[in-house]
């Protein structure tokens, strides 16, 4: 299941012409966050959990530059965030499809932004992997209740 | 989804939050009116619990406590006298949000047979000027006066 998620995310970005490289994978005791831009999706049904995608500034810049040329030089606006949100949405759907878990669905994405965010996403075991994109880092985390 | 139905939906969440808060803290929140937000985002400071949901209606609930009322909730529920937000504060707020959302969804699924709305686990955030975006959805807010300050309930939703 974890490899399904990693492949789904890489395939999603690849479909937009963005090549990523998996750098690290971990199992950590709880689901927290590290970056200032977070896309959060809930998983409901026979599996219940939370999926997050976090982007640092460089990764955000690379994605926006590819998907919306010219917009990368402007402050992060609604159109840019919508593009990031859509990546999470597509990946989440692809991941559930690959898992073949009946009776499971994802919720619409919520984007959270801010500085020095303290968060508790889930206090259960979390699968986390890091990908590099250009000179940036993307963190994908998945935890279940 | 028409606005009247969306506001009715919002009231299920508001009544659930008020009911749970009253039972847990023995204090009846005072509600203001429902406001439809014009923007696709909200910017908040304090302790914010996010509960996503999906089904015939999908979206997310936000419970926004200002910093003082967030600590009061923690202390009243846990019998403590904490002065700063810590991990246990976040956990307590997550549980509170989960209970409120669960009550609301039970009522919604009873009122709208076949809607099969289901909750994802809650996530809790703490900070200043945190922004929450949800695209292609309508947002509604209700402000409640609670112990020590205010609680803002914000629901973003759409009909699937």
**Closest C-alpha to B99, from B40, B159, B23:** B23
Picking from B52, B91, B131, the nearest residue to A107 by CB comes out as: B52
Q: What percent of chain B has pLDDT over 90?
A: 88
Per-residue pLDDT at A100: 80
Closest residue of chain A to B88, computed from CA coordinates: A120
Q: What is the tens place of the pLDDT at every residue in B88-113?
A: 999 999 999 999 999 999 999 999 99
The residues pairing with B52 across neighbouring beta strands, listed in sequence order, are: B60
- In angstroms, the separation between the Cα of residue A34 and the nearest Cα of chain B is 12
Residues spanned by the domain of B114? 3-159
Interchain CB contact of A15 with B (< 8 Å): no
Q: Please indicate whether, in this complex, the C-beta atoms of B123 and A78 are within 8 angstroms of each other.
A: no
Per-residue pLDDT at A3: 84
Q: What is the tens place of the pLDDT at every residue in B17-42?
A: 999 999 999 999 999 989 999 988 99
Question: Quick one: three-class SS letters along chain A?
Answer: CHHHHHHHHHHHHHHCCCCCEEEEEEEECCECCCCCEEEEEEEEECCCEEEEEEECHHHHHHHHHHHCCCHHHCCCCHHHHHHHHHHHHHHHHHHHHHHCCCCEEECCCEEEECCCCEEECECCCEEEEEEEECCEEEEEEEEEC
Residues spanned by the domain of A59? 2-144
Question: Quick one: three-class SS letters along chain B?
Answer: CCHHHHHHHHHHHHHHHHHHHHHHHCCCCEECCCEEECCCEEEEEEEEEEEEEECCEEEEEEEEECHHHHHHHHHHHHCCCCCCCCHHHHHHHHHHHHHHHHHHHHHHHHHCCCCCCEECCCEEEEEEEEEEECCCCEEEEEEEEECCEEEEEEEEEEEC
CATH number of the domain to which B37 belongs:
3.40.1550.10
**pTM of the entire predicted model:** 0.94
- In angstroms, the separation between the Cα of residue A19 and the nearest Cα of chain B is 26
Q: Please indicate whether, in this complex, the C-beta atoms of B52 and A111 are within 8 angstroms of each other.
A: no
Q: Please indicate whether, in this complex, the C-beta atoms of B90 and A85 are within 8 angstroms of each other.
A: no
Per-residue pLDDT at A73: 67
Q: What is the tens place of the pLDDT at every residue in B38-63?
A: 988 999 999 999 999 999 999 999 99
Please give chain A's pLDDT, 145 residues, in tens.
788 898 899 899 999 888 888 889 989 999 999 999 999 999 999 999 999 999 998 898 888 888 887 776 666 788 888 888 999 999 999 999 888 878 899 999 999 999 889 999 998 999 999 999 988 999 999 999 8
d(CA A80, CA B148): 38
Domain tally, chain B: 1
Per-residue pLDDT at A72: 67
Domain tally, chain A: 1
Q: Please indicate whether, in this complex, the C-beta atoms of A118 and B127 are within 8 angstroms of each other.
A: yes
Rg (CA), chain A: 14
> With bands split at pLDDT 50, 70 and 90, how would you rate the model's confidence at B1?
confident
CATH number of the domain to which A28 belongs:
3.40.1550.10
Q: Please indicate whether, in this complex, the C-beta atoms of B133 and A122 are within 8 angstroms of each other.
A: no
């Amino acid at each position: 299941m974890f490899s399904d998620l990693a492949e789904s995310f890489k395939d999603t970005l690849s479909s937009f012409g963005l090549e990523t490289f998996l750098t690290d994978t971990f199992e950590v005791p709880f689901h927290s966050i590290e970056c200032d831009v977070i896309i959060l999706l809930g998983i409901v049904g026979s599996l219940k959990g939370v999926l997050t995608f976090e982007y640092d500034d460089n990764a955000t810049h690379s994605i926006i530059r590819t998907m919306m040329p010219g917009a990368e030089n402007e402050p992060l606006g609604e159109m840019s965030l919508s593009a990031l949100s859509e990546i999470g949405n597509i990946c989440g759907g692809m991941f559930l499809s690959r898992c073949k878990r009946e009776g499971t669905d994802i919720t619409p994405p919520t984007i959270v932004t801010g500085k020095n965010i303290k968060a508790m996403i889930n206090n259960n075991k979390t699968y986390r992997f890091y990908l590099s994109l250009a000179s940036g880092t993307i963190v994908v985390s998945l935890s279940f209740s | 989804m028409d606005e009247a139905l969306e506001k009715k939906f919002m009231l299920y969440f508001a009544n659930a939050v008020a009911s749970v808060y009253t039972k847990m803290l023995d204090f009846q929140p005072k509600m203001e009116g429902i406001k439809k937000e014009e923007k696709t985002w909200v910017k908040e400071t304090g302790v914010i619990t996010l509960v996503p949901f999906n089904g015939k209606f999908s979206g997310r609930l936000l419970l926004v406590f200002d910093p003082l009322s967030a600590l009061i909730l923690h202390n009243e529920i846990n019998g403590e006298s904490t002065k700063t937000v810590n991990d246990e504060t976040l956990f307590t707020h997550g549980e509170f949000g989960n209970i409120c959302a669960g009550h609301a969804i039970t009522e919604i699924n009873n009122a709208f047979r076949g809607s099969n709305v289901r909750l994802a686990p809650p996530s809790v955030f703490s900070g200043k000027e945190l922004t929450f975006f949800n695209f292609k959805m309508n947002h509604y807010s209700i402000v409640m006066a609670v112990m020590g300050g205010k609680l803002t309930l914000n629901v973003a939703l759409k009909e699937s």
